[in-house]
A and B are shown apart, each in its own frame.
Chain A
Amino acid sequence: ELKVEQNPLFLSMQEGKNYTIYCNYSTTSDRLYWYRQDPGKSLESLFVLLSNGAVKQEGRLMASLDTKARLSTLHITAAVHDLSATYFCAVEREYGNKLVFGAGTILRVKS
């Protein structure tokens, strides 16, 4: 059974600081997604990572994938308040099939 673990589950950061969220998964997978969710809102797709060594960047966020280690990271550079949200990683168990989500990381960026 595919399991996805994120850590930390809660992260309080000062503006301007850097930090990394980790996502470990238990079995081989085809692809990995990162989503952002604001309170009371739905999931916004941030990144889709398809292969080992994939790295994608958008603004202050950068995601990477190491399929051999079954690990993805979401790195936050020089955090700003607008990044406060819950971040989920999700792993696609089989091509075209369901996503298995981590528990989410609640990020709070303090001024």
Chain B
Amino acid sequence: GAGVSQTPSNKVTEKGKYVELRCDPISGHTALYWYRQSLGQGPEFLIYFQGTGAADDSGLPNDRFFAVRPEGSVSTLKIQRTERGDSAVYLCASSRTGGTEAFFGQGTRLTVV
């Protein structure tokens, strides 16, 4: 596709459930980033992939959060035992290589009830 694609666009889940958020980066982009944006705030970094490996996962808030990118393209952000505080918009971005301009997807709005 032409841009970064994220699915689903909206997700409502019950507290304690498991969710997966998907990101399809721009074709050929080797770097992929996940950010979380809470209402009224700027995006906060979660994790950065270069190829298949997580080059920096220092932004993951705790061990309930995990992300994979097994083939160096699509990435999945996984959240276990969701809490109401996890409610936010999860943004994915990709860039041609690390250090070049990143392009953001539309985000997945996660609501934990």
Q: Which A residues contact B (CB, under 8 angstroms)?
A: 4, 30, 33, 35, 41-43, 45, 48, 88, 90, 92, 95-104
Contact = CB atoms under 8 A, between A and B. Distances in A.
Interface residues of B, number: 27
Contacts of B31: 96
Nearest to B45: A98
Given A4-B42, A97-B98, A102-B42, 8 more contacts: A30-B99, A42-B104, A96-B97, A97-B55, A97-B56, A98-B48, A103-B41, A104-B42
Contacts of B50: 96
B43 A43 contact: yes
A66 to B, nearest CB: 21
A45 B101 contact: yes
B44 interface: yes
B98 A101 contact: no
B9 to A, nearest CB: 10
- Name the residue among B42, B48, B102 with the largest chain A CB count within 10 angstroms: B42
Contacts of A35: 104
A107 to B, nearest CB: 15
Nearest to B33: A98
Contacts of B59: 98
A47 B43 CA distance: 17
